[in-house]
Chain A
Amino acid sequence: MEDPELARLLSGRNRPSVLEKEAAFEQVMARMPGHPRRWLQGMWLTAAAAAAVVALVWLNAPKPSSEFGELASRGAAATAQASFELVCGVRGGAERCVRGDKLGFVVHASAGRFFAAFARRPDGTLLWYWPALTGKSIPASTLAVLDASSDSVLLDAAHLPGRYTVFGVFSTRPLARQEIERALGPDLRGRTGIDVVERMLVVEAP
């Protein structure tokens, strides 16, 4: 009998045990950009210990930790597909957005992708977030922390209460609004070289 099965029996639950979760967690960490791999951590520890014995000097080298460090492997596997999540500002801890909130975008995309976003109001009106009227879509890697005001969208008076569809448009080159509208067409669907990801947004009156 394998360890995971034994661990399930010991937990009393016939579903992934702590051992299976920890093994899966290691795989997640291995996919994190800039995270040191386990075997690399082990090598570093061994090398540091050997150096300490031989040279009898204190090494001021950082021990491998979960922090992103010098030993980090750069450019580990990027997310499988471009995507984004919306994060509403905090108003009473609710998970809905209230007009006046800031709307954050957490964007997941590989390097070299550009991001544009707009919302379709219940009455069909499009409210553009990025790019600006005369600008072009921005590198996806530069987005998006809720607290960074430049990366957040204020749900202003144009955001009437109701259900919105927020469109995230990922492209391989910077695009202006008109280019995006032309590429998406009236049905707002993705085309070759352009991925469209949709999210629902509920805006409530304050």
Chain B
Amino acid sequence: MTLLQSERELRQAFRAGQREALRRVYVHYFDAVLAVFAHGFGILGPPPRHVQGLSDPGQRMDGVQEVFVRAFEERARLAYDGVRPYKPYLLRIAKNLRIDQLRASGRQERDLAVVFDEQVHEVQPSEGAPEDELHFRTLHAATRVFIEQLDAESQRFVALRFVEELSQAEVAERMGVTRRRARTLETQVQEGLARFLKKRGLP
């Protein structure tokens, strides 16, 4: 069961175009859609093909945005019945968009086309160069130390907001605090981490 299949209320809100529902869907599927533009995808044959990803992060984001603009149009939302998994539909838009781009640029033979059973490369944990990844790991190790030193409330906030990627409103509801308190926690945690890293000479 995927997000929209399992949560009836969310599905109804999504079909109605309610902002929070669209946000949840966007955040939930963002990585999968980005992976199509970042890493490309394979198409089962015959003959099997690989469609290249985009190297420019800006172009990747443009692709992601275009997919969600199309998927969030009213007619597209209403066309989703909630029975089938939503992710393949989103990824199909992404793959078709990528193929349309390649065709328009003349860099791809014409018979390339997506069918419904293609394989998509999963998003990789890191998209950066090796040195960037090393830098991130160094900073993240320090960040873990910082998080361990936080009080229980702040630790829970970090888990809900940054790891589970809930909205501020959802986090506030889950924690039983006001929205303002959630905003304050977000600011405090980020500022605290910036100070913590700076103190240790980590840029």
Q: Do A and B bind each other?
A: yes
**Residue B143 CB within 8 A of the other chain:** yes
**Residue B61 CB within 8 A of the other chain:** yes
The closest CB in chain A to the CB of B26 belongs to A25
- A85-B100 Cα distance, complex, nearest whole Å: 12
The closest CB in chain B to the CB of A144 belongs to B75
Of the candidates A9, A10, A13, the one whose C-beta lies within 8 Å of that of B125 is A13
**Residue A123 CB within 8 A of the other chain:** no
Q: Are B79 and A146 in contact (CB under 8 A)?
A: yes
User: Which B48-90 residues have C-beta < 8 A from chain A?
Assistant: 61, 64-66, 68-70, 72-76, 78-79, 81, 83-85, 88-89
**Residue A197 CB within 8 A of the other chain:** yes
Of the candidates A18, A79, A80, A165, the one whose C-beta lies within 8 Å of that of B162 is A18
User: Which A69-88 residues have C-beta < 8 A from chain B?
Assistant: 79-81, 83, 85, 87
If A15-B126, A21-B165 touch, whether A10 touches B147 (CB-CB below 8 Å) is yes
- A21-B29 Cα distance, complex, nearest whole Å: 10
Using C-beta atoms within 8 Å of the partner chain, give the interface range for chain A. 35 or more
Q: Are B18 and A200 in contact (CB under 8 A)?
A: no
If A7-B162, A10-B158, A200-B113 touch, whether A16 touches B34 (CB-CB below 8 Å) is yes
**Residue A137 CB within 8 A of the other chain:** no
Return the CB mask of A50-73 against B: 1 if under 8 Å, else 0.
Answer: 000000000000000111100000
Q: Are B194 and A25 in contact (CB under 8 A)?
A: no
Q: Are A79 and B83 in contact (CB under 8 A)?
A: no
If A1-B197, A65-B19, A199-B113 touch, whether A11 touches B75 (CB-CB below 8 Å) is no
- A159-B94 Cα distance, complex, nearest whole Å: 27
Using C-beta atoms within 8 Å of the partner chain, give the interface range for chain B. 35 or more
Return the CB mask of A32-59 against B: 1 if under 8 Å, else 0.
Answer: 1100000000000000000000000000
Q: Are A29 and B162 in contact (CB under 8 A)?
A: no
Q: Are A144 and B79 in contact (CB under 8 A)?
A: yes
Q: Which residues of A contact B88 (CB under 8 A)?
A: 95
**Residue A132 CB within 8 A of the other chain:** no
The closest CB in chain A to the CB of B160 belongs to A18
- A56-B150 Cα distance, complex, nearest whole Å: 45
**Residue A173 CB within 8 A of the other chain:** no
Q: Which residues of A contact B132 (CB under 8 A)?
A: 14
**Residue B10 CB within 8 A of the other chain:** no
If A6-B190, A10-B189, A79-B70 touch, whether A85 touches B93 (CB-CB below 8 Å) is yes
Q: Are B190 and A7 in contact (CB under 8 A)?
A: yes
The closest CB in chain A to the CB of B69 belongs to A31
The closest CB in chain B to the CB of A81 belongs to B100
Q: Are B92 and A27 in contact (CB under 8 A)?
A: no
- A198-B27 Cα distance, complex, nearest whole Å: 29
Of the candidates B27, B116, B147, B189, the one whose C-beta lies within 8 Å of that of A25 is B27
Q: Are B27 and A22 in contact (CB under 8 A)?
A: yes
Q: Are A106 and B75 in contact (CB under 8 A)?
A: yes
- A79-B75 Cα distance, complex, nearest whole Å: 14
Q: Which residues of B contact A8 (CB under 8 A)?
A: 136
- A1-B116 Cα distance, complex, nearest whole Å: 43
* Cβ of A111 to closest chain B Cβ, rounded Å: 13
* Cβ of B124 to closest chain A Cβ, rounded Å: 8
Q: Are B69 and A12 in contact (CB under 8 A)?
A: no
**Residue B193 CB within 8 A of the other chain:** yes
Return the CB mask of A100-139 against B: 1 if under 8 Å, else 0.
Answer: 0000101110000000000000000000000000000000
* Interfacial residues, chain A to chain B (CB-CB below 8 A): 1, 3, 6-18, 21-22, 24-25, 27-29, 31-33, 65-68, 79-81, 83, 85, 87, 90, 93, 95-96, 104, 106-108, 143-147, 163, 165, 189, 197-202
Question: Could you name 9 residue pairs across A and B whose Cβ atoms are closer than 8 Å?
Answer: A6-B190, A12-B144, A15-B34, A17-B162, A24-B64, A29-B19, A87-B89, A163-B115, A197-B100
